[in-house]
Amino acid sequence: MKHITIFSGSARSGHSYRAIERFLSELKKLREISYEIIKLSDFTIEYCVGCKRCFEKGEMACPLKDDVLSLARKMEQSDAVIFASPNYGFHISGKMKSFIDRIAYNFHRPQFFGKYFTSIIVQGIYGAGKIRSYFHFIAPPLGFNSLPGVILQSLEPLPEKVLQKNEKKIVKHAQAFAAFLDKPAFPAPSFIDVMMFRISRTKINTMLDDGSADYRYFKKKGWFEKDFYYPAKLGLFGKFVGFLSDRFAGNS
Ligand SMILES: Cc1cc2nc3c(=O)[nH]c(=O)nc-3n(C[C@H](O)[C@H](O)[C@H](O)COP(=O)(O)O)c2cc1C
């Protein structure tokens, strides 16, 4: 049984919410799941003030006392996470962006390895392609295995043809996500993945110390000595790429 948490960036129980429900009802036919839908507008999420205390001292040092850390905990406790957002001014909703800003310490200290991610985007007319790319771009640095999201149209009145197209798309996306959940939770990393890991861990090791939350996190995870974030078989070339990346980061 996989537990899925869906974060919705719309304050309405409108098209995004209905798309989430439709997606889940289809997914339930294919996989045993439990789930929670979280409307971000039901929670207090203050704007990030940019103090960087979460980066430097740890997320517990955030001066804003609101619901963000309990929402982040729900991500940690899930096997899969879905971000659903309407297109607002050619980007995600402000509520969703505030949430992402506030959990940005996870880009420094990624922790969602072995978990799956996708997105659902709803729009009146145009521009959601970039939103889908954005979600797919931010998920791997957080540790997630990411499946590109689905885009649905919602300009009212919705002609029958568009309704049917939306229905086909959401069913297809639920099927794709069900298959995605069966893929290895810890896939073999690409050379770029290895390179990025080795450069960041070597930089953190050489430039920071125990006073830094990032350093302490990497140390606790044993990442200064590891080939990759999680056990992965690197071939001879992968090991060489790792070695060179360590050398490059250590010397630059
Ligand atoms: C403030 C605002 C900005 C919007 N900007 C865009 C946009 O740039 N492109 C677009 O295609 N639709 C845009 N829309 C339309 C919404 O994406 C659409 O109404 C969507 O269904 C809203 O999601 P909801 O039904 O879940 O609330 C905008 C809507 C609002 C309220």
pLDDT tens-place string over residues 142-168? 999 999 999 999 999 999 999 999 999
Please tell me the distance between residue 75's alpha carbon and the centre of ligand 1 in angstroms: 26
SS3 for 248? helix
CB atoms closer than 10 angstroms to residue 218: 21
Spatial neighbors of 203 by CB under 8 A, at least 6 apart, are 249
**Which helix (H) or strand (E) segment is 54 a member of?**
helix 53-56
Which pLDDT score is estimated for 99?
Answer: 98
Q: Is the pTM of this model over 0.95?
A: yes
Which pLDDT score is estimated for 252?
Answer: 79
Q: Which of 93, 97, 123, 131, when mutated, tests ligand 1's pocket best, judged by the most ligand atoms within 8 Å of its CB?
A: 123
Q: What percent of the chain has pLDDT over 90?
A: 99
Asked whether residue 247 carries a pLDDT value surpassing 90, the answer given is yes
Which pLDDT score is estimated for 191?
Answer: 96
Q: Which atom of ligand 1 is nearest to the CA of 15?
A: 25
Cα separation, 132 vs 18, in Å, equals 18
Pocket of ligand 1 from Cβ distances under 6 Å: 10, 12, 14-17, 86-90, 122-127, 154
For atom 30 of ligand 1, which residue has the closest CA?
Answer: 88
The mean predicted confidence, pLDDT, of the chain is 97
Report DSSP state, residue 88: B
**Type of residue numbered 233:** K
